[in-house]
Chains A and B, each alone.
Chain A
Protein backbone atom coordinates (compact mmCIF):
# COMPACT_ATOMS: atom_id res chain seq x y z
CA UNK A 1 0.00 0.00 0.00
CA UNK A 2 1.13 3.51 -0.70
CA UNK A 3 1.99 5.84 2.16
CA UNK A 4 2.68 9.57 2.24
CA UNK A 5 4.76 11.18 4.99
CA UNK A 6 4.98 14.83 5.89
CA UNK A 7 7.53 15.18 8.64
CA UNK A 8 6.95 18.86 9.41
CA UNK A 9 3.76 19.39 11.43
CA UNK A 10 4.31 23.16 11.46
CA UNK A 11 6.37 25.66 9.52
CA UNK A 12 6.73 29.41 9.67
CA UNK A 13 7.93 31.90 7.07
CA UNK A 14 8.39 35.64 6.93
CA UNK A 15 6.23 37.43 4.40
CA UNK A 16 8.01 37.76 1.02
CA UNK A 17 10.48 34.98 1.91
CA UNK A 18 10.70 31.45 0.54
CA UNK A 19 9.70 28.27 2.34
CA UNK A 20 9.96 24.59 1.42
CA UNK A 21 7.55 21.93 2.66
CA UNK A 22 8.74 18.32 2.63
CA UNK A 23 6.94 15.20 1.51
CA UNK A 24 8.12 11.64 1.00
CA UNK A 25 6.11 8.69 -0.20
CA UNK A 26 6.42 4.98 -0.58
CA UNK A 27 5.23 3.04 -3.60
CA UNK A 28 6.25 0.12 -5.76
CA UNK A 29 4.64 1.64 -8.84
CA UNK A 30 6.54 3.46 -11.55
CA UNK A 31 3.85 5.78 -12.83
CA UNK A 32 1.57 7.85 -10.64
CA UNK A 33 0.49 11.39 -9.77
CA UNK A 34 1.57 13.57 -6.89
CA UNK A 35 -0.32 16.61 -5.62
CA UNK A 36 -0.10 19.43 -3.16
CA UNK A 37 -3.40 20.68 -1.72
CA UNK A 38 -3.96 23.77 0.38
CA UNK A 39 -6.62 23.83 3.11
CA UNK A 40 -7.23 27.34 4.49
CA UNK A 41 -9.33 27.95 7.63
CA UNK A 42 -12.46 27.67 5.47
CA UNK A 43 -11.49 23.96 5.13
CA UNK A 44 -12.00 24.02 1.35
CA UNK A 45 -9.44 21.77 -0.34
CA UNK A 46 -7.66 23.68 -3.10
CA UNK A 47 -5.34 22.04 -5.59
CA UNK A 48 -2.03 23.90 -5.66
CA UNK A 49 0.07 21.84 -8.04
CA UNK A 50 0.34 18.38 -9.57
CA UNK A 51 3.16 16.29 -10.96
CA UNK A 52 3.11 13.21 -13.18
CA UNK A 53 5.82 10.76 -12.23
CA UNK A 54 6.98 10.07 -15.77
CA UNK A 55 7.65 13.77 -16.37
CA UNK A 56 11.15 14.68 -15.29
CA UNK A 57 10.50 18.40 -15.39
CA UNK A 58 9.38 19.85 -12.08
CA UNK A 59 5.90 21.40 -12.14
CA UNK A 60 5.52 25.13 -11.55
CA UNK A 61 2.44 27.27 -10.91
CA UNK A 62 3.30 30.95 -10.42
CA UNK A 63 4.95 31.23 -6.97
CA UNK A 64 4.61 27.50 -6.30
CA UNK A 65 7.07 24.93 -7.58
CA UNK A 66 8.03 21.39 -6.69
CA UNK A 67 11.28 19.49 -6.38
CA UNK A 68 10.42 15.98 -7.54
CA UNK A 69 13.10 13.39 -6.85
CA UNK A 70 11.67 10.12 -8.11
CA UNK A 71 14.51 7.86 -7.01
CA UNK A 72 14.41 9.30 -3.52
CA UNK A 73 10.58 9.32 -3.54
CA UNK A 74 10.58 12.92 -2.46
CA UNK A 75 8.15 15.65 -3.53
CA UNK A 76 8.77 18.99 -1.80
CA UNK A 77 6.81 22.20 -2.36
CA UNK A 78 8.55 25.56 -2.58
CA UNK A 79 6.55 28.73 -2.03
CA UNK A 80 8.34 31.86 -3.18
CA UNK A 81 7.52 35.43 -2.15
CA UNK A 82 5.23 34.15 0.61
CA UNK A 83 2.02 36.07 1.17
CA UNK A 84 -0.28 36.26 4.17
CA UNK A 85 -2.91 34.40 2.17
CA UNK A 86 -0.60 31.40 1.90
CA UNK A 87 -1.18 30.61 5.58
CA UNK A 88 -2.98 27.27 5.63
CA UNK A 89 -2.60 23.52 6.05
CA UNK A 90 -0.77 21.94 3.14
CA UNK A 91 -1.32 18.31 2.25
CA UNK A 92 0.78 16.16 -0.03
CA UNK A 93 -1.15 13.43 -1.85
CA UNK A 94 -0.46 10.39 -4.04
CA UNK A 95 -2.64 8.84 -6.69
CA UNK A 96 -1.94 5.62 -8.50
CA UNK A 97 -2.45 5.40 -12.25
CA UNK A 98 -3.08 1.70 -12.25
CA UNK A 99 -5.02 0.83 -9.11
CA UNK A 100 -7.89 3.22 -8.76
CA UNK A 101 -8.35 6.94 -8.46
CA UNK A 102 -8.29 7.37 -4.71
CA UNK A 103 -5.98 9.93 -3.20
CA UNK A 104 -3.68 9.01 -0.33
CA UNK A 105 -2.89 12.04 1.82
CA UNK A 106 -0.12 12.89 4.23
CA UNK A 107 -0.89 14.29 7.68
CA UNK A 108 -0.29 17.86 6.62
CA UNK A 109 1.96 20.81 7.43
CA UNK A 110 0.53 23.92 9.01
CA UNK A 111 2.17 26.98 7.47
CA UNK A 112 2.16 30.30 9.30
CA UNK A 113 3.18 33.50 7.51
CA UNK A 114 4.64 36.27 9.67
CA UNK A 115 3.94 39.84 8.56
Chain B
Protein backbone atom coordinates (compact mmCIF):
# COMPACT_ATOMS: atom_id res chain seq x y z
CA UNK B 1 0.00 0.00 0.00
CA UNK B 2 1.73 3.12 -1.20
CA UNK B 3 1.94 5.98 1.24
CA UNK B 4 0.85 9.55 0.71
CA UNK B 5 2.46 10.89 -2.44
CA UNK B 6 3.29 14.49 -3.13
CA UNK B 7 4.70 16.02 -6.25
CA UNK B 8 6.77 17.73 -7.13
CA UNK B 9 9.21 17.29 -4.25
CA UNK B 10 10.91 20.55 -5.11
CA UNK B 11 9.40 23.48 -6.95
CA UNK B 12 11.05 26.74 -7.91
CA UNK B 13 8.93 29.67 -9.00
CA UNK B 14 9.66 33.29 -9.76
CA UNK B 15 7.69 35.99 -7.98
CA UNK B 16 4.31 36.42 -9.60
CA UNK B 17 4.06 32.90 -11.02
CA UNK B 18 1.59 30.24 -9.95
CA UNK B 19 2.51 27.17 -7.92
CA UNK B 20 0.50 23.94 -8.03
CA UNK B 21 1.21 21.29 -5.44
CA UNK B 22 -0.31 17.83 -5.73
CA UNK B 23 -1.18 15.27 -3.12
CA UNK B 24 -2.39 11.72 -3.68
CA UNK B 25 -3.75 10.25 -0.44
CA UNK B 26 -3.22 6.70 0.69
CA UNK B 27 -5.52 4.15 -0.88
CA UNK B 28 -8.85 4.15 0.90
CA UNK B 29 -8.34 7.59 2.46
CA UNK B 30 -10.93 10.22 1.64
CA UNK B 31 -9.69 13.03 3.92
CA UNK B 32 -6.78 15.30 3.08
CA UNK B 33 -5.04 17.96 5.15
CA UNK B 34 -2.52 20.56 4.05
CA UNK B 35 0.10 22.04 6.38
CA UNK B 36 2.83 24.61 5.81
CA UNK B 37 6.22 24.61 7.50
CA UNK B 38 8.21 27.82 7.35
CA UNK B 39 11.98 27.54 7.91
CA UNK B 40 12.85 26.62 11.50
CA UNK B 41 9.18 26.44 12.53
CA UNK B 42 6.56 23.81 13.23
CA UNK B 43 3.82 22.82 10.84
CA UNK B 44 0.81 25.10 10.59
CA UNK B 45 -2.59 23.81 9.51
CA UNK B 46 -3.96 25.29 6.31
CA UNK B 47 -6.98 23.38 5.07
CA UNK B 48 -8.92 20.14 5.52
CA UNK B 49 -10.80 18.60 2.61
CA UNK B 50 -12.94 15.62 1.83
CA UNK B 51 -13.79 14.57 -1.70
CA UNK B 52 -15.32 17.63 -3.42
CA UNK B 53 -15.75 19.48 -0.12
CA UNK B 54 -13.72 21.92 1.93
CA UNK B 55 -14.37 21.11 5.58
CA UNK B 56 -12.10 23.60 7.35
CA UNK B 57 -10.07 26.33 5.68
CA UNK B 58 -9.42 28.38 8.78
CA UNK B 59 -5.64 28.29 8.24
CA UNK B 60 -5.65 29.38 4.62
CA UNK B 61 -4.52 32.90 3.74
CA UNK B 62 -7.49 34.84 2.44
CA UNK B 63 -5.90 35.73 -0.88
CA UNK B 64 -3.93 33.85 -3.53
CA UNK B 65 -4.32 30.41 -1.91
CA UNK B 66 -6.90 27.82 -2.87
CA UNK B 67 -7.32 24.06 -2.48
CA UNK B 68 -9.44 21.38 -4.04
CA UNK B 69 -9.94 17.65 -3.77
CA UNK B 70 -11.93 16.52 -6.79
CA UNK B 71 -13.90 13.34 -7.09
CA UNK B 72 -11.18 11.91 -9.29
CA UNK B 73 -7.50 12.71 -9.03
CA UNK B 74 -5.20 14.24 -6.45
CA UNK B 75 -5.78 17.13 -4.12
CA UNK B 76 -4.30 20.38 -5.41
CA UNK B 77 -2.99 23.31 -3.40
CA UNK B 78 -2.71 26.34 -5.66
CA UNK B 79 -0.80 29.50 -4.86
CA UNK B 80 -1.29 32.35 -7.30
CA UNK B 81 1.17 35.22 -7.77
CA UNK B 82 3.72 33.74 -5.41
CA UNK B 83 5.85 35.98 -3.20
CA UNK B 84 9.12 35.25 -1.39
CA UNK B 85 7.24 34.72 1.87
CA UNK B 86 5.50 31.70 0.34
CA UNK B 87 8.81 29.82 0.33
CA UNK B 88 8.23 26.89 2.67
CA UNK B 89 7.69 23.15 2.85
CA UNK B 90 4.09 22.14 2.19
CA UNK B 91 2.96 18.86 3.67
CA UNK B 92 -0.10 16.86 2.85
CA UNK B 93 -1.60 14.26 5.17
CA UNK B 94 -4.44 11.84 4.64
CA UNK B 95 -6.71 9.77 6.82
CA UNK B 96 -9.64 7.42 6.33
CA UNK B 97 -11.77 9.85 8.32
CA UNK B 98 -13.02 7.44 10.95
CA UNK B 99 -13.09 8.66 14.53
CA UNK B 100 -9.63 8.80 16.03
CA UNK B 101 -7.89 7.77 12.83
CA UNK B 102 -4.30 8.80 12.26
CA UNK B 103 -3.07 11.30 9.74
CA UNK B 104 -0.33 9.92 7.53
CA UNK B 105 2.03 12.48 6.07
CA UNK B 106 3.56 12.73 2.64
CA UNK B 107 7.22 13.70 2.09
CA UNK B 108 6.35 17.34 1.45
CA UNK B 109 6.94 19.78 -1.39
CA UNK B 110 9.62 22.38 -0.86
CA UNK B 111 8.63 25.58 -2.64
CA UNK B 112 11.29 28.17 -3.34
CA UNK B 113 10.28 31.56 -4.69
CA UNK B 114 13.08 33.51 -6.34
Contact = CB atoms under 8 A, between A and B. Distances in A.
Given A33-B100, A43-B108, A47-B102, A105 B43 contact: yes
B89 A103 contact: no
Interface in B82-114: 89, 91, 93, 95, 100, 102-103, 105, 107-108, 110
A75 interface: no
Nearest to A43: B108
A91 B43 contact: yes
B41 A107 contact: yes
Contact of A43 (B35, B41, B89): B89
Nearest to B3: A44
A36 to B, nearest CB: 12
Interface residues of B, number: 24
Interface residues of A, number: 21
The listed residue with most A CB atoms (<10 A of its CB), out of B44, B103, B107, is B103
The listed residue with most A CB atoms (<10 A of its CB), out of B42, B56, B103, B108, is B42
Contacts of B89: 43
Given A42-B107, A43-B89, A102 B48 contact: yes
Contacts of A97: 100
B69 interface: no
B109 to A, nearest CB: 10
Nearest to B110: A43
Given A4-B42, A43-B108, A52-B100, 11 more contacts: A42-B107, A45-B108, A100-B48, A101-B33, A101-B103, A102-B45, A102-B48, A102-B56, A103-B45, A103-B93, A107-B41
